[in-house]
Amino acid sequence: MFKSGKAPLLVLCAVAFLAASALADAGTRYGFGTPIAPADIAPWNSDVNGLTGAGLPPGSGSVAQGAQIWETKCASCHGEFGEGAGRYPVIAGGRGTLKEDVPQKTVGSFWPYAPTLFDYIKRAMPFPAPESLSDDEVYALTAYVLNLNDIVPKTAVMDAKALAAVRMPNRSGFIKAQPDTKNDACMSACKPVPVKITSDLVNLHVTPDEREVGDVGSTVELNSTGTPPPLDLTASVAPAAAVVTFAQVAPIIAQRCTVCHSAKPTEAGFTSAPLGIDFGSPARIKAQRAQIVAQSVKTHAMPPGNVTHMTDQERALVGAWVSAGAPLP
Amino acid sequence: MNDRRAFLRSAVATTAVAALSAAAPADAAPLAIPESNTVLGAGVNDTPYGSPSKYERDVVRRTVPFLTAEDKSSVSFTPLQDLDGIITPNGLCFVRDHGGSAMDIDPVQHRLVIHGLVEQPLEFTMHDLLRFPTESHVYFMECGANGGMDYKGAQMQGVQFTHGMLHCCEWTGVKLSVLLNEVGVSPSAKWMLAEGADAAAMTRSVPIEKVRDDAMLAWSQNGERLRPENGYPLRLILPGWQANLNVKWLRRLKFGRDPWETREETSKYTESLPNGLARQFDWVMGTKSVITGPCPEKPMAGRGFREVTGLAWSGYGKIARVDVSFNGGVDWKPARLQDPILTKALTRFRIPWEWNGKTALLQSRAVDDRGNVQPTHAQLLKARGGNAIYNKNSLQTWRVNPNGTVDSVQVG
């Protein structure tokens, strides 16, 4: 399989590079495996180097072509203009926010290399149908995403040469990690007393818990031997007093959420429930309660842009219903 | 079930505090012959693989639904609070996927290709790989995002969620250095791209020094073939390094001169700093420990003796020492380490505690054999700020409340 003249060179390399434990293997070739020609590797050999653009294939695509593909294959998750839907990644915007308390890390604000965009879309997007786009389509989407981020003009056409030449705004924004913390192993009187508690989550209630939201942090039941009972996944927790009823919550969901989140959305642009999240029945609403709290009570991620004008009072009411165990009629 | 819960409530007597006080032992009831003594059991092979007792049904992986957009590119957490020793059972190993757990790949059809800057590109079947000399090693595996939700402040109430992107298995496979020899990697090769056969076609760049050092290709975990969700039939193992680099469903290794700068090593798995820059290629999982009992899921059972136990690990080597504080880091006592203490593996520690029923702030602090000391959370925040997301290895603080419950808090 190999020319014998190469063996001494390999041994030298081994001495130079290999750890002592690996030396035992140096020089031993077992002959297992089958030689494979570059042409036969080609279908898998599609990686693109983000730094150099090496591996970018022939083909091209324009911003305008990308816009059309985006609308049908990308916008349902990433938003029509890359603003993101639900928890799906925001693609555009965020320039100048990296030093802020809540940095928006997008392609335009954060990604250091443009060819990485081609590589990633080609191998992993669209999320439900990876490896389904042609190289021309990937170039077009790359052009569109760069244009959404004001990095290339709307007349731009991307091909291997053009993409490798794009300089991303945050290109010099990365440093090689080095050890950055140092602690000594102090054993006594290491800091002043009393110790200050800087963060206390006892009232946050965002941790998932089969005992129902709101139960964590309350008094734990202890039996006569002092052993806490195991989580009972089948028991339902009796609602607390003054429970918010489903009847109070249902009209809020109907008015603020189901224009999109139903099997037949009435909101323009939706032909089915986004992300398959359908509030078509009380049981389905209850099943999604953790997401509802995360998206609409703890944060204002939903409704997107508060397009249906959900009030803070309504959000609180929905939260209280979930905290009460999301009782259904 | 409700009867049982009612019984438990009444058994608490009047208040939780009363139950927690050191009561005089009550007379035990007269013993009865257990039902299991009176009936024949099941056949020896009624369950040819076997499964845990039905009474252990709450010992499962769990998720945090709001963390991710959906459940394919998401993560499940290991129930550390329910585990003993250092080995994670295969069915409880956390799962972090970027395009779902790949379909159950037929090992007969699976191929690994090694190419790029090599003398002879080779294609390997699983049958080929299993013919090479093999090794077994116990290594921990930790997601770079483990604890990431708690950078800015305590958010997750439970060790399963604060630390559960962590498992430790005995891996069996072939050292990658053996295969490097087989293909004749060029001296000019400085980096290796590893690629998965999943819907994300996961790719990460690995520097050649790590490849030659202790990297291996594994097909077994804990004595049996990999679980599908953990990379069946083949995954890369980079001991002590961020789990994302340990590419599952491994199908291709390519050698080159430069890092590939893939999406997962630029826009993700990099740590954003307050000055706007981001730390990249932070591969080694830092020296770290956590108390797994007591914890929010395993509250105090009463005043008096309680063995405090937990896990410590370091991507740099072996754990040399673990100290435990009961007063929020003011004073520390060394814990006892349980053998075996293995390099880049979880190490179990234990320390006895007499609880007086008052509020206590429990912390553990790991020191590894390179002298690395696990940082306080204040030190980590000072170095990285609150938006770093990845590689959070700072001290965890559990507040034990007078009623025996345990909360996750952070201290200054």
Segment B358-398, tens digit of pLDDT = 999 999 999 999 999 999 999 999 999 999 999 999 999 99
Give the pLDDT confidence of B249-259 residue by residue, as tens digits. 999 999 999 99
Q: How far is A227 from chain B, CA to nearest CA, in Å?
A: 5
Six-digit token pair at B338? Answer: 């349980």
The confidence band for A269, taking pLDDT boundaries of 50, 70 and 90, is low
CB-based contact B2:B10 (threshold 8 Å): no
Residue B3 has pLDDT above 80, yes or no: no
Torsions phi, psi for A122 (to 5 deg): -60, -45
CB-based contact B284:B343 (threshold 8 Å): no
Q: Is A207 on the interface with B (CB under 8 A)?
A: yes
Max Cα separation, chain A? Answer: 86
| Structural domains of chain A, with CATH | 1-31 (no CATH), 60-165 (1.10.760.10), 246-323 (no CATH)
| DSSP 8-state code for residue A255 | H
Q: CA-to-CA distance for A136 and B203, rounded, in angstroms?
A: 22
3-class DSSP state of A302:
coil
Q: How far is B168 from chain A, CA to nearest CA, in Å?
A: 23
Q: CA-to-CA distance for B169 and B148, rounded, in angstroms?
A: 23
> What is the structure's pLDDT at B347?
98
DSSP structure string for B237-305: E-TTB-GGGS-SSEEEEEEESS----GGGTTSS-EE-TTS-EEE---BPPPEEEEEESBTTB---SSEE
Max Cα separation, chain B? Answer: 78
Q: Nearest to residue B137, comparing CAs of B218, B194, B233?
A: B218
> What is the structure's pLDDT at A210?
56
Residue B191 has pLDDT above 80, yes or no: yes
Give the pLDDT confidence of B61-113 residue by residue, as tens digits. 999 988 888 888 999 999 999 999 999 999 999 999 999 998 899 999 999 99
Question: Locate tokens 């380490």: which residue?
Answer: B337
Residues A144, A148, A149, A155: what is their CA dihedral angle, to the nearest 10 degrees? 60
Most confident listed range (A272-276, A289-293, B76-80) = B76-80
Region of poorest pLDDT, from A249-263, B81-95, B113-127, B331-345:
A249-263
B124 contact residues in A (CB cutoff 8 A): 32-34
Q: CA-to-CA distance for A112 and A121, rounded, in angstroms?
A: 16
Residue A253 has pLDDT above 60, yes or no: yes
Q: CA-to-CA distance for A284 and A272, rounded, in angstroms?
A: 15
Q: Is B64 on the interface with A (CB under 8 A)?
A: yes
Residue B324 has pLDDT above 80, yes or no: yes
Q: Is B52 on the interface with A (CB under 8 A)?
A: no
Residue A62 bridge partners (DSSP): A157
**Sequence-ordered list of residues with C-beta below 8 angstroms from that of A231, at least 6 positions apart, any chain:** A210, A211, B58
Torsions phi, psi for A49 (to 5 deg): -80, 120
Q: CA-to-CA distance for B308 and B323, rounded, in angstroms?
A: 11
**Nearest beta carbon to residue B19 from set A77, A87, A226:** A226
Half-sphere exposure of residue B333: CA atoms within 13 angstroms, side-chain side: 12
Six-digit token pair at A219? Answer: 């008094």
| Size of the A and B interface in Cβ pairs below 8 Å | 345
Give the pLDDT confidence of B199-242 residue by residue, as tens digits. 999 999 999 999 999 999 999 999 999 999 999 999 999 999 99
Q: Do A222 and B302 touch (CB under 8 A)?
A: yes
Q: Is A189 on the interface with B (CB under 8 A)?
A: yes
Question: Locate tokens 């209850």: which residue?
Answer: A286
Kind of pairing between the strands at B319-325 and B75-77: unpaired
Closest-CA residue of B relative to A107 is B267
> What is the structure's pLDDT at A274?
67
Region of poorest pLDDT, from A65-79, A192-206, A238-252:
A238-252
Q: Do A110 and B267 touch (CB under 8 A)?
A: yes
> What is the structure's pLDDT at A268?
57
* Angle formed by the axes of helices A312-323 and A246-256, nearest 10°: 130
> Which of A9, A12, A178, A198 has the most B C-beta neighbours within 10 Å, making it the best mutation to test the interface with B?
A198
Q: Is B322 on the interface with A (CB under 8 A)?
A: no
> What is the structure's pLDDT at A20?
40
Q: CA-to-CA distance for A122 and A45, rounded, in angstroms?
A: 12
ω into B294 cis (within 30 of 0):
yes
Q: CA-to-CA distance for B140 and B393, rounded, in angstroms?
A: 14
Q: Do A206 and B155 touch (CB under 8 A)?
A: yes
> Which of B1, B2, B8, B361 has the most A C-beta neighbours within 10 Å, making it the best mutation to test the interface with A?
B8
**Nearest beta carbon to residue B380 from set A30, A181, A196:** A181
Q: How far is A55 from chain B, CA to nearest CA, in Å?
A: 10
> What is the structure's pLDDT at A230?
34
∠ CA A83-B384-B281, nearest 5°, is: 80
Please give, one letter per residue, the 3-state secondary structure of B347-363.
EEEEEEEEECCCCEEEE
ω into B340 cis (within 30 of 0):
yes
Six-digit token pair at B105? Answer: 């790949």
Give the pLDDT confidence of B131-162 residue by residue, as tens digits. 999 999 999 999 999 999 999 999 999 999 99
Kind of pairing between the strands at A174-176 and B278-280: parallel
Is ipTM beyond 0.85? yes
Q: Nearest to residue B160, comparing CAs of A49, A231, A244?
A: A231
Helices (H), strands (E): how many in chain A?
12, 5
| Structural domains of chain B, with CATH | 90-279 (3.90.420.10), 288-409 (2.60.40.650)
**Nearest beta carbon to residue B121 from set A41, A48, A185:** A41
Q: CA-to-CA distance for A328 and A286, rounded, in angstroms?
A: 8
Scored b (16 or more CB within 10 A) or e, B44-57 reads eeeeeeeeeeeeee
Helix (H) or strand (E) holding A158: strand A157-159
**Nearest beta carbon to residue B177 from set A22, A99, A131:** A22
Q: Is B59 on the interface with A (CB under 8 A)?
A: no
Region of poorest pLDDT, from A60-69, A89-98, A274-283:
A274-283
> What is the structure's pLDDT at A37?
98
Q: What is the mean pLDDT of chain B?
A: 93
| DSSP 8-state code for residue B136 | E
> Which of B9, B115, B251, B261 has the most A C-beta neighbours within 10 Å, making it the best mutation to test the interface with A?
B261
Region of poorest pLDDT, from A231-245, B285-299, B329-343:
A231-245
3-class DSSP state of B397:
strand
* Angle formed by the axes of helices A115-124 and A135-148, nearest 10°: 130
> What is the structure's pLDDT at A77?
95
The confidence band for B309, taking pLDDT boundaries of 50, 70 and 90, is very high
B262 contact residues in A (CB cutoff 8 A): 50, 116, 119-120
The residue-averaged pLDDT of A232-253 equals 54
Q: CA-to-CA distance for B285 and B113, rounded, in angstroms?
A: 28
> What is the structure's pLDDT at A144?
98
pLDDT above 90: percentage of residues in chain B:
90
> Across B314-394, where does the E strand assignment appear?
319-325, 333-334, 336-337, 347-355, 360-368
> What is the structure's pLDDT at B295?
98
Helix (H) or strand (E) holding B63: strand B62-63
Question: Locate tokens 């999301």: which residue?
Answer: A326
Q: CA-to-CA distance for B251 and A104, rounded, in angstroms?
A: 34
CB-based contact B145:B99 (threshold 8 Å): no
**Nearest beta carbon to residue B131 from set A32, A130, A175:** A32
B234 contact residues in A (CB cutoff 8 A): none
Neighbours of A95 (CB within 10 A): 16
> Which of B21, B73, B76, B181 has the most A C-beta neighbours within 10 Å, making it the best mutation to test the interface with A?
B181
> What is the structure's pLDDT at B2?
40
Q: Do B69 and A275 touch (CB under 8 A)?
A: yes
Residue B292 has pLDDT above 50, yes or no: yes
Q: Nearest to residue B253, comparing CAs of B234, B240, B231, B271?
A: B234
Give the pLDDT confidence of B267-279 residue by residue, as tens digits. 999 999 999 999 9
DSSP structure string for B250-261: EEEEEEESS---
Q: Do A221 and B8 touch (CB under 8 A)?
A: yes
Q: Is A94 on the interface with B (CB under 8 A)?
A: no
> Which of B118, B125, B180 has the most A C-beta neighbours within 10 Å, making it the best mutation to test the interface with A?
B180
